[in-house]
């Protein structure tokens, strides 16, 4: 009898993407059942996967643009170019899905990049979950800011700050404690006078990383700027502002956290 194959990250991603054979799926489910944190992480991936599919699936049913169809009717070389152009156009439309589907086949990324990408996905899911809330968007309101910051600092084991973003048009709504892949996570919410919301996701225990450069990701309709500063990771999310406006706010956050 052959030895059971260990569960790899590729298996977990294929399971989240619903691409595993029934036998292997049962093995992965048994493995996850004994690891609640991993089960929660993969559940987040599956929810995001379905959101991405729901958001972009209609693109697959759209007719081929006429200029690409004309290229397809030309000689063989042009047909090849048309095919490349069509795939590029579809790849741009399906950006998030393409990255997800190919994740398991790409060369291993650096630990910092992996941590940052995972943080961005979790931040996007948290933003999509809590920003639409009307009655309970946060656990502790801005009227108890000192208590909120002290509580989250204690739970994360690091001194935290809730940046003041009035200069870029946002005021603190409050925050909450969330579960992360390595421990508790702080989640601050801000709102503009027009009701636009952004959220700041803060995690600790990002060991061995000194990268501080901003990176941008888009998960479904949520844009995320994220960065890592030594053992702290930050992700600023919004589904309602442009990339440039979100970058402006991210810069304001960075300046306050790194005076």
Domain locations along the chain: 1-108, 111-257
Q: What is the mean pLDDT of the chain?
A: 78
Q: Which residues pair with 219 in a beta bridge?
A: 222
How many Å apart are CA 98 and CA 58, to the nearest integer? 15
The answer to whether 158 and 124 have CB atoms below 8 angstroms apart is: no
Cα dihedral value 241, 242, 246, 248, nearest 10: -120
How many Å apart are CA 256 and CA 259, to the nearest integer? 5
Is the pLDDT at 19 greater than 50? The verdict is yes
Instruction: Tell me which long-range contacts 168-171 makes (C-beta under 8 A, separation of at least 24).
Output: 168/248, 168/249, 168/252, 169/193, 170/198, 170/249, 171/142
pLDDT value, residue 142: 95
For 65-103, how does the pLDDT look when each residue is reduced to its tens digit (9 = 90+)?
Answer: 565 556 555 554 444 545 545 444 444 444 444 343 334
For 189-232, how does the pLDDT look when each residue is reduced to its tens digit (9 = 90+)?
Answer: 999 999 999 999 999 866 655 566 789 998 888 999 999 887 88
Is the pLDDT at 113 greater than 60? The verdict is no
Domain covering 111-257: architecture: 2-Layer Sandwich (3.30)
At residue 236, φ and ψ (nearest 5 deg) are: -105, 125
Name the nearest CA neighbour of 124 among 233, 224, 54, 47.
224
The answer to whether 239 and 127 have CB atoms below 8 angstroms apart is: yes
For 132-156, how does the pLDDT look when each residue is reduced to its tens digit (9 = 90+)?
Answer: 988 889 999 999 999 999 999 999 9
């Amino acid at each position: 009898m052959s030895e059971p194959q260990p569960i790899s990250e590729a298996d977990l991603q294929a399971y989240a993407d619903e691409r595993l054979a029934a036998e292997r799926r049962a093995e992965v489910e048994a493995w996850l059942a004994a690891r609640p944190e991993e089960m929660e992480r993969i559940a987040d991936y599956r929810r995001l996967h379905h959101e991405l599919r729901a958001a972009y699936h209609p693109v697959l049913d759209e007719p081929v643009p006429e200029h690409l169809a004309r290229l397809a009717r030309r000689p063989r070389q042009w047909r090849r170019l048309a095919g490349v152009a069509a795939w590029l156009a579809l790849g741009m439309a399906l950006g998030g899905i393409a990255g997800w589907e190919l994740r398991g086949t790409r060369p291993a990324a650096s630990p910092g990049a992996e941590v940052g990408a995972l943080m961005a996905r979790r931040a996007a899911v948290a933003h999509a979950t809590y920003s639409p809330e009307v009655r309970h968007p946060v656990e502790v309101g801005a009227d108890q800011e000192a208590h909120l910051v002290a509580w989250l600092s204690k739970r994360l084991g690091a001194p935290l700050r809730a940046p003041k973003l009035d200069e870029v048009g946002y005021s603190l709504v409050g925050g909450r404690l969330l579960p992360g892949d390595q421990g508790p996570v702080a989640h601050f919410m801000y709102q503009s006078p027009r009701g636009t919301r952004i959220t700041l996701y803060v995690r600790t225990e990002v060991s061995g990383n000194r990268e501080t450069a901003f990176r941008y990701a888009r998960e479904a309709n949520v844009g995320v700027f994220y960065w890592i500063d030594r053992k702290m990771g930050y992700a600023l999310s919004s589904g309602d502002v442009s990339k440039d406006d979100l970058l402006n706010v991210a810069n304001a956050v960075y300046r306050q956290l790194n005076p």
